[in-house]
Amino acid sequence: MNKPIAYDMLVIGSGPAGQKAAVEAARSGASVALIEKTRKLGGACVQRGTIPSKTLRENALRVRNMRMNAQLSNFKLAEDTELATLITRLNNVLNAHDEYMRKQLERTKVNLIHGRARFLSPQDVEVESVRGEKQTYSSGHILIATGSHPRKPPDIPVDHEHLFDSDSILSMMYLPKSLTVLGGGVIASEYASIFQALGVSVTMIDKYPHPLGFLDNDLTQTFLNDFTQMGGTWKGNTKVTRCYWNGMDAVITECDNGTEVRSEKLLCAAGRVANVKELEIGNAGLELNDRGLIDVDDQLETQVRGIYAAGDVIGPPSLASASMEQGRRAACNSLEITSGLVHSVIPAGIYSIPELSSVGISETHAREKFGDVFVGIARFDEIARGQISGALNGMLKIVCDTDGKTILGIMIVGEGATELIHIGQMALINNSPVDIFVETVFNFPTLAEAYRAAALEIIHQRKSKASRIKAGF
């Protein structure tokens, strides 16, 4: 082993978790090395996930709006539209992000090391450069933030030419005429609705009856109504038995109910797997749990003292937003810097068309756990702003405890859902009673007014329950 170079902290992976950890540690005065194997910084979030898919979504929304206003513009996408033209701004966004991150690392004096990391011992990490040169780095504080890659089901022959996964889907040259999407999770729902909005004929296939099963059915049904109104097809309760490129013109997907779906391309969105293979974590005394993830305690420390882990490598919620905060906290905990209160209330944002977002627990979950909970619903078509802006297909739901006071969860589907959710998140974090939404004056006309309408429904239900009890019913 060559002579190790020592740092106060080593961070492996430059995604949201690693980047925020490195910057936080360096700001506290620690000497920090950030190890990244790819040429570009930012991980799946910047290069293949969040930012690329959301950039495409912006353009899909524009295309959809132009099509909806067809009588004004008679808009039609050209045949064989190149995908690159639909994500024209992507390179600008990515380059700007890369430059910003590099400058931030330089400013905070984080040493960026380009190479593939693997553990030699609990304190030693070897980094192999693209030219095959090896150097060892050592530290008593190491953060694993190596992220995840798409799960490859053994029977789906992903070739990145006709059958894609969520990392390669945007490498398609042309917008296909038809696309089969396997899966009903977040990434599947986002890409299925984005491509459908672009005019691709999309068929989503999943073994569960509804997509996005962690949300209540009324929300996912609103999503499905919009998706099918755009022309998409949902095949729930359906198992794929075989899937192949026919060598000529189509991907054939055979299902257990005897149906066969033909499409030009296929996206397999069957979840993600932690990036740990190359790390050889066994050399550090670490092992994976039965879900293939690294276990951490509430300080984000692994079972080996001094080694922390954050982001997708530790599993759900597997969001860029949560990964950033986990990375920052892991660095603080490791270096014993005060990091502030931990809030377990994390919103989930699903950037499908329409958007969905939730915070706290669902109505289904609340009923299972507490019984007769209070639920208030406001539909966007009952809100002035919904009518004005044509954002009619949406709803906001508040779930309260059995007294109808304490907020347990909020779920929104429709325009602005991923932004609107933060109002509810703040109420939840501050333990505000649902009445806060009625006692507060919101701007008019806004979609945020839906909070007031849903809260009023709960307050009315609460009052009528109280009078029923008083009257002895």
Write out the residues near ligand FAD by the rule CB under 6 A. Answer: 12-18, 35-38, 43-45, 49-50, 53-54, 116-117, 145-148, 166, 187, 275, 278-279, 311-313, 318-321, 323, 349, 351
Q: Any known ligand binding at 409?
A: no
Say whether 211 sits in a helix, a strand or coil: coil
List, in sequence order, the alpha helices (H) in 108-146: none
Is residue 189 part of an annotated ligand binding site? yes
Is 146 annotated as belonging to a binding site? yes
User: Which 8-state DSSP code applies to residue 292?
Assistant: S
Task: For residue 80, say whether it is annotated as part of any ligand binding site.
Answer: no
CA distance linking residue 120 with residue 122, whole number of Å: 7
Query: 170: left (phi > 0), else alpha (psi -120 to 50), else beta?
Result: alpha
231 marked ligand binding residue? no
Residue 312 annotated as part of some ligand binding site: yes
User: Do the annotations mark residue 350 as ligand-binding?
Assistant: no
Report whether 302 belongs to an annotated binding site: no
Closest distance to ligand FAD from the beta carbon of 60 (Å): 14
Q: For residue 419, give both structure tokens.
A: 């932004």
Instruction: Copy the structure tokens of residue 251.
Output: 């991907």
Cβ-Cβ contacts under 8 Å for 361 (sequence gap 6 or more):
369, 399, 408, 409
Of residues 67 and 149, the one with the C-beta less far from ligand FAD: 149
Q: How far is the CB of 133 from ligand FAD (least distance, A)?
A: 15
SS3 labels along 148-173: EEECCCCCCCCCCCCEEECCCHHHCC
**Residue 379 amino acid letter:** R
Q: Which is nearer to ligand FAD, 311 or 416 (CB)?
A: 311
Q: Which is nearer to ligand FAD, 148 or 222 (CB)?
A: 148
CB nearer to ligand FAD: pick between 276 and 428? 276
190 neighbors 356 (Cβ within 8 angstroms): no
Taking the complex as a whole, the smallest distance from the CB of residue 311 to ligand FAD amounts, in Å, to: 2
Cβ density class 71-108: b for 16+ within 10 Å, e for less: eeeeeeeeeeeebeebbeebeebbeebbeebeeebeee
162 close to 152: Cβ distance less than 8 angstroms: no
Residue 451 region by backbone torsions, left for phi larger than 0, else alpha for psi between -120 and 50, else beta: alpha
Q: Is 87 annotated as a binding residue?
A: no
- Provide the minimum distance between the beta carbon of 9 and ligand FAD in the complex, in angstroms, as a whole number: 15
| Closer to ligand FAD by Cβ: residue 119 or 234 | 119
Report the nearest approach of ligand FAD to the CB of residue 450 (Å): 22
C-alpha–C-alpha distance, residues 130 and 116, integer Å: 8
Query: Cβ of residue 248: shortest distance to ligand FAD, in angstroms?
Result: 29
Residue with tokens 């009619």: 392
What single-letter DSSP state applies at residue 1?
A: -
Alpha helices in 292-448 (DSSP H): 320-335, 363-370, 384-389, 417-429, 436-439
CA dist 275 and 384 (Å) reads 47
Q: Is 412 assigned a ligand-binding role in the annotation?
A: no
* Smaller CB separation from ligand FAD, 418 or 461: 418
Closer Cβ to ligand FAD, 43 or 433, answer by number: 43
Whether 185 has a binding-site annotation, put simply, is: yes
Which residue lies nearer to ligand FAD by CB, 67 or 151? 151
Kindly state the smallest distance separating residue 144's Cβ from ligand FAD, in Å.
9
Q: How far is the CB of 121 from ligand FAD (least distance, A)?
A: 16
State the nearest-atom distance from the C-beta of 448 to ligand FAD, in Å. Answer: 21
Binding site for NAD(+), residues?
183-190, 271
Q: Point out the annotated binding site for FAD.
A: 54, 146-148, 312
**Binding-site sequence positions:** 54, 146-148, 183-190, 271, 312
